[in-house]
Amino acid sequence: MPSTYYMRYPEIDPVLIHLGPLQLRWYGLMYIIGFILAYIIVVKISRHRHYDLSKTQIEDLLTYCVIGLIVGARLGYCFFYNLGFYLANPLKIFAVWEGGMSFHGGLIGLVLAGWLYSRLKQKRFLMLADLGAIAATPGLFFGRIGNFINAELYGRVTDMPWGMVFPGAGPIPRHPSQIYEAFFEGVLLFCILYIINIKTRTRGMLIASFLLFYGVMRFFLEFLRQPDSQLGLVLGGLTMGQILCVIMAIAGASLLVCRLKSSTP
């Protein structure tokens, strides 16, 4: 039975600024902050590691990544989480303002964008992937804060005293799972990758660690997050997010083993 003691959800207007018919939303601002911090991180690490990347090349890389992220996240949501609906309503794929973005789809889009950039610009893909891995963590943090402000992707019912009653989620307190994810996937994962970045110079270690640790963290956090209403539990009591995280963690562990055995930096 849920507790009668819980924290008050700090209702915040999702729209930060109204400019006539135009709106600047908190969620959009979170994306902007994430990309700015990603740029700063990539520049600093490139200089420290003496990577052959100019500021112009980094700006071009981030442009590829922004496009890959948005396209991948949208298509990933359509394919992984609501395929039947979008097959019946294909034009709705372009209705991004209605919501629906997938982290795993965005990750695939980022990887493909980085791979394409590496081929066109003659850069080492693992070097770019490592930069992207550590640079993505601030975006993950701020993205989850944006989810919290939007009162979306909330958690399952809880009797913990820090449970919150989210607008549109009924009168029962739920885990503020967005805050959990912001800490583990954003702050803690950044700290782990930062330490690995200091300790090793082997290329591929950061992206491998990102895939492994994010996959494991998100897998367990999904037990506290409310499953997607249109899917529910998919396989053996697991959510679609957990299934994708298992694949992600296996890929990360496999790459990590390969890079540890590799004789080339």
Tens digit of pLDDT for each residue in 12-38? Answer: 888 888 887 778 888 889 989 999 999
66 CB contacts (<8 Å, ≥6 apart)?
35
> What pLDDT is attached to residue 263?
56
What would the two tokens of residue 186 be?
Answer: 């954003």
Q: 39-64 pLDDT, tens per residue?
A: 999 999 998 888 889 999 999 999 99
Q: What would the mean pLDDT of 173-184 be, rounded to a whole number?
A: 96
Better pLDDT: 264 or 170 = 170
Cα separation, 17 vs 15, whole angstroms: 6
Distances (CA, A) of 160 to 102, 163, 174, 177, 227: 28, 5, 8, 12, 19
> What pLDDT is attached to residue 3?
52
Distances (CA, A) of 181 to 138, 147, 148: 12, 10, 10
Q: 120-129 pLDDT, tens per residue?
A: 999 999 999 9
Give the chain's mean pLDDT: 91
pLDDT exceeds cutoff 60 at 1 = no
Q: Can you give the pTM of this predicted structure?
A: 0.91
> What pLDDT is attached to residue 265?
65
Chain centroid offset of residue 122 CA: 27
DSSP tag of 51: -
Query: What are the structural domain ranges in the chain?
Result: 15-261
Q: 103-161 pLDDT, tens per residue?
A: 999 999 999 999 999 999 999 999 999 999 999 999 999 999 999 999 999 999 999 99
Q: What would the mean pLDDT of 172-193 be, rounded to a whole number?
A: 96
> What pLDDT is attached to residue 4?
58
Share of the chain above pLDDT 90, in %: 70
Q: Dihedral (C-alpha) 17, 109, 75, 156: value to the nearest 10 degrees?
A: -70
